[in-house]
């Protein structure tokens, strides 16, 4: 594993797609690993009672997956500086989330990648991740 070099980060470069199966196990285990015990993330009956079709992904997991999508591509040692997202439709159990992204800009050594996570209902998450390349790799 290595960290991507700056010349592989031209503005406009697209990231390889990543698909994540939103199995019930995945939804529940990520919710609990983020210490989120809200019933809609693990209890189907409670989720349906409040109008959802199934249990769905919690936001702390969305943030974690967005981060993972970028570091999977950019390498383990890039320095994540920030993640800004707008949240859209829910990521329900049984759906698949497909991440796409591209390098949006670079300013003063900090790169911004645009990330979109799409499920069958539409965009679950759209946002940007900012990161820097550690100096010794630059």
Q: Indicate whether 44 belongs to the interface with another protein (CB under 8 A).
A: no
Query: How far, in Å, CA of 58 to CA of 90, rounded?
Result: 9
- Report CA 49 to chain centroid distance, whole Å: 28
Query: How far, in Å, CA of 8 to CA of 111, rounded?
Result: 12
Identified binder of another protein from the candidate list 6, 23, 49, 59, rule CB under 8 A: 59
Query: How far, in Å, CA of 128 to CA of 2, rounded?
Result: 22
Nearest to 80 by CA among 71, 88, 89: 71
Identified binder of another protein from the candidate list 16, 82, 109, 138, rule CB under 8 A: 82
Identified binder of another protein from the candidate list 15, 20, 22, 93, rule CB under 8 A: 20
Q: Indicate whether 105 belongs to the interface with another protein (CB under 8 A).
A: yes
Pair 50, 90: CB distance under 8 Å = no
Q: Least distance (Å) from another protein to the CB of residue 11?
A: 6
Q: Which is nearer to another protein, 19 or 45 (CB)?
A: 19
Query: How far, in Å, CA of 117 to CA of 66, rounded?
Result: 8
Q: Least distance (Å) from another protein to the CB of residue 20?
A: 7
Please state the φ and ψ torsions of residue 48, each to the nearest 5 degrees: -70, -35
Identified binder of another protein from the candidate list 80, 94, 98, 110, rule CB under 8 A: 80
Residues that bind another protein (CB under 8 A): 1, 11-12, 14, 20, 26, 29-30, 32-37, 51, 59-68, 71-72, 76-77, 79-87, 100, 102, 104-105, 107, 114, 123, 126, 134, 136-137
């Amino acid at each position: 594993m290595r960290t991507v070099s700056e010349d592989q980060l031209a503005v406009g470069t697209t990231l390889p797609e990543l698909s994540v199966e939103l199995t019930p196990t995945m939804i529940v285990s990520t919710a609990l690993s983020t210490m989120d015990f809200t019933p809609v993330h693990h209890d189907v009956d409670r989720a349906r009672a409040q109008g959802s079709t199934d249990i769905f992904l919690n936001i702390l997991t969305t943030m974690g997956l967005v981060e993972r999508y970028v570091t999977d591509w950019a390498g383990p040692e890039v320095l994540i500086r920030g993640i800004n997202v707008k949240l859209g439709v829910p990521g329900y159990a049984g759906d698949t989330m497909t991440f796409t992204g591209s390098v949006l800009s670079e300013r003063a050594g900090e790169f911004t990648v645009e990330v979109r996570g799409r499920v069958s209902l539409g965009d679950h998450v759209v946002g940007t991740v900012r990161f820097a390349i550690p100096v010794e790799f630059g």
